[in-house]
Chain A
């Protein structure tokens, strides 16, 4: 089971916007609106920040937004803050009731 494809790293300055991509296939991202995004600061458990492509759980700032086009889902963080520095992972439902994660993207706030 190949992981979804994410860029290894992205960076941005405080106040800027960054977008992290997550590329899958027709058996996962393209076919299902079950894409999620997680934030994982070093040494901590992941935190859900986006589910079902565009939805934010309660308490997640609206600076975080999700979208999808074809095989690729995206997470956009606007108004970048120092506290956003973390690893970010996407996930998607894949056929046969399985879940697949992306390889992760390290966000550096310059």
Chain B
């Protein structure tokens, strides 16, 4: 069974940093591209970042470019998101998510974690 379990969320002050992690199991993690997607309370889904299967290629939404860094450790089956210079607009549930296609990206997401809440407030 595919499982994605996020951790690392919490309350952080504006300008602060936070590192999210996602533990993956139930599939060959090193074969899949992975995404981070966020959802502010009561709002819609917003794509944040994508990393390819070996970690050599990353892309970001304009709203987080230069502040967030996605990375992965295929030996540990983990996906991370380092978030710096946080603002109130970054407050959201952050989902770790698996791309539908193995070996490449379909830019579709077939498995989602349950999400971890990041709240940016003083």
**Residues of A bordering B, CB below 8 Å:** 1, 3, 34, 36, 38, 40, 45-48, 51-52, 57, 87, 89, 91-93, 96-104
Contact between B44 and A101, CB atoms less than 8 A apart:
yes
Q: How far is the CB of A53 from chain B (nearest CB, A)?
A: 10
- The reply to whether A46 and B107 form a contact with Cβ atoms under 8 Å apart is no
B47 and A98: CB pair below 8 A? yes
Which residue of the partner chain, among B35, B37, B44, B108, contacts A102 with CB atoms under 8 Å?
B44
Count contacts on B: residues with CB < 8 A to the other chain. Answer: 25
What are 15 inter-chain pairs, A to B, with CB distance below 8 A?
Answer: A3-B44, A38-B45, A40-B45, A45-B95, A45-B112, A46-B109, A48-B108, A89-B45, A91-B47, A96-B59, A98-B50, A98-B60, A98-B61, A99-B107, A101-B47
Shortest beta-carbon distance from B30 to chain A in Å: 20
Closest B residue to A104 by beta carbon equals B44
Whether the Cβ atoms of A34 and B108 lie closer than 8 Å is yes
Which partner residue on chain B sits nearest A32 by CB separation? Answer: B107
Q: With both chains docked as a complex, state the minimum distance between the C-beta of A97 and any C-beta of chain B, in angstroms.
A: 4
Taking a contact as CB atoms under 8 Å apart, the answer to whether A101 and B112 are in contact is no
How many angstroms from the CA of A91 to the CA of B35 in the assembled complex? 13
**Nearest neighbor of A34 in chain B, beta-carbon distance:** B107
Q: Which residues of A contact B108 (CB under 8 A)?
A: 34, 36, 48, 51-52, 91
